[in-house]
């Protein structure tokens, strides 16, 4: 059966690409275009042309990323209106929630401050707590968290490029 089309001279189907998983598609959409590989830059337009909902989501994500990059929230009201008018239920719900907190969203876009350091410390505490699984005291947990914070602070002061 595999050789029969060759004998008849019929063209064979070209190799088919495996469609991206939802996680891969989300990563492609959220990654800045200059940071994507050339292979993904070739595949993403085909995916977006195949699915208009993904194209809408891609355009909205890129517009929001531009607001974050420029720290300019002047286009946020139009962006929220476009998000609400997509006709996609999850995006409409997100638009409603962001509209209720639009002052906080505007503040988050325009200020250079974030809570990344605090979130990292909280994650450290959670991981240490889970790692010890109730076998140790609060005193030992505190000691380990302080030790991790000290090590991170020491490694954070190192230069990013090694001297040669």
Whether 54 shows a pLDDT value over 80: the answer reads: yes
The pTM assigned to this predicted structure is 0.66
State the pLDDT confidence band at 13, using cuts at 50, 70 and 90.
Answer: low
* Rounded distance between C-alpha atoms, residue 17 and residue 138, angstroms: 53
Average pLDDT over residues 87-114: 91
Whether 18 shows a pLDDT value over 50: the answer reads: yes
Whether 133 shows a pLDDT value over 70: the answer reads: yes
Whether 163 shows a pLDDT value over 50: the answer reads: no
What rounded mean pLDDT belongs to the chain? 84
Whether 63 shows a pLDDT value over 80: the answer reads: yes
């Amino acid at each position: 059966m595999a050789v029969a089309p060759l004998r008849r001279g019929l063209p064979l189907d070209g190799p088919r690409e495996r469609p991206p998983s939802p996680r891969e598609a989300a990563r492609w959409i959220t990654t800045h275009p200059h940071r994507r590989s050339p292979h993904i830059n070739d595949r993403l337009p085909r995916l977006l042309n195949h699915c208009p909902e993904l194209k809408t989501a891609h355009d909205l994500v890129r517009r929001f990323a531009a607001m974050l990059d420029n720290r300019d929230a002047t286009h946020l009201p139009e962006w929220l209106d476009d998000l609400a008018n997509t006709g996609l239920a999850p995006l409409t719900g997100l638009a409603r929630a962001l509209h209720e907190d639009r002052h906080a969203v505007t503040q988050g876009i325009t200020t250079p401050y974030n809570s990344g350091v605090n979130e990292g410390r909280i994650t450290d505490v959670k991981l240490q707590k889970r790692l010890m699984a109730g076998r140790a005291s609060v005193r030992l947990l505190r000691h380990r968290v302080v030790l991790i914070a000290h090590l991170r602070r020491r490694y954070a002061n190192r230069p990013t490029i090694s001297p040669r």
